[in-house]
Amino acid sequence: MRLLARLFQRFLVFCLGLLTVWLIVFVVFDTADNRLPWILAACLTYGVAAYVILPNVVRLGLKILHRGLIPKYTIAVDGLPGDPVNFVLIGTLQQLREAFATAGWSTADHLGIASSLRMMRAFLMNSAYPTAPFSTFYLFGRRQDIGFQEPIDDSPRKRHHIRFWALDLAHSEEDMSSPSFWLKTDKPSPDERVLWVGAGTRDTGLSLTWLTFQITHATDSDTNAERDYIVNELKAKCVVGDVVLHQSGSRLMTGKVNHYITDGDVAFASLTVGATDGNHAQSSSPVNPDPASPAP
């Protein structure tokens, strides 16, 4: 019975794929080609296919295949797996900003038309843009709350970067292996001391998404090395307390996620920069991410 259900799910996804190809070739392109020069028709077809039709079809297909499963990583706009979660910092938004500013990292600009055009120009001209925007990834049902980056050789094509999502500390006492933990959409107040759940990777150049062909950064596959790099950057500036590695609460298995190689470990640490004496003592060691386990 389970095999029949799986075959039926894949048949539905196959039908969605065929319908998508038919829409792109015989509806979108044919209509545009009859009314516009073929170059404009091709560009319009690419834009509609890569940024509207294919992302929504992929999302629908993944809902059919993965319904009820616990998210193990961030989700890209096209519905495909994004970056593995490999970092958790504990503190306020102000502490988070100050910590990365002290380490020499810049806050990413909001993704919009102006910042996207500036990013495209910087990418083509290889001119510096230290606050370049990030593409949108999702976790806990919402886009990233904030992101930080450190350019490599002042190039917009290569950079260390990390996205963060705020999670109320009260939720950290819940079972991280349950779907309800990962499907929370409430965003805590910026003044609260919260868990900053992060996904850090290193951009290495230009690429296209493999299924929807959207233009994006190519990334280094070794997210373990990037996690360790960020840990060392923050520790060198003394803006975090003790760092402890824990396996991902979403049961991320050792091996490959998308094209990434990860050991599944998440670095936990408390932010100490900007803390008062009382708060500093409270923040000197990371919270225990698994209340069922003894504190490290």
Could you read off the pLDDT of 39-59 as tens digits, one per residue? 777 777 777 777 677 766 766
For residue 7, pLDDT over 90 is answered with: no
For residue 21, pLDDT over 60 is answered with: yes
Range of the domain at 128: 73-283
Q: Which of 28, 48, 66 is the last residue of a domain?
A: 66
Q: Which of 66, 81, 96 is the last residue of a domain?
A: 66
Same domain, 78 and 55: no
Same domain, 52 and 108: no
Same domain, 56 and 78: no
Q: What is the pLDDT of residue 225?
A: 92
For residue 173, pLDDT over 70 is answered with: no
Band (pLDDT 50/70/90 cuts) for residue 201 is very high
Same domain, 60 and 162: no
Could you read off the pLDDT of 232-277 as tens digits, one per residue? 999 999 999 999 887 654 443 333 444 556 677 888 889 998 754 3
Whether 292 is in a domain gets the answer no
Q: Which of 66, 85, 111 is the last residue of a domain?
A: 66
The arithmetic mean of pLDDT across residues 139-164, rounded, is 90
Domains contained in the chain, number: 2
Whether 155 is in a domain gets the answer yes
Q: Which residue has the higher pLDDT, 179 or 254?
A: 179
Whether 291 is in a domain gets the answer no
52 contacts 60 by C-beta, under 8 angstroms: no
Q: Residue 194's beta-bridge partner residues?
A: 91
Same domain, 37 and 151: no
From 31, 274, 71, select the one nearest 181 (Cα to Cα). Answer: 71
Whether 222 is in a domain gets the answer yes
CA dihedral for 110, 114, 115, 120, sign (positive or negative) = positive
Same domain, 120 and 167: yes
Same domain, 57 and 81: no
**CA-CA distance, 183 to 166, in Å (whole number)?**
13
Q: Please, is 261 exposed, middle or buried when counting C-beta atoms within 10 Å of its C-beta (0-12, 13-18, 19+)?
A: middle
**CA-CA distance, 206 to 115, in Å (whole number)?**
17
Q: What is the pLDDT of residue 213?
A: 58
Q: Can you tell me whether residue 105 is helix, strand or coil?
A: coil
CA dihedral for 109, 114, 117, 122, sign (positive or negative) = negative
**CA-CA distance, 204 to 65, in Å (whole number)?**
31
Q: What is the pLDDT of residue 252?
A: 34
147 contacts 162 by C-beta, under 8 angstroms: yes
Q: What is the pLDDT of residue 172?
A: 59
Same domain, 160 and 21: no
Q: What is the pLDDT of residue 83?
A: 87
Same domain, 208 and 274: yes
Q: What is the pLDDT of residue 167?
A: 85
Same domain, 41 and 100: no
Q: Can you tell me whether residue 32 is helix, strand or coil?
A: helix
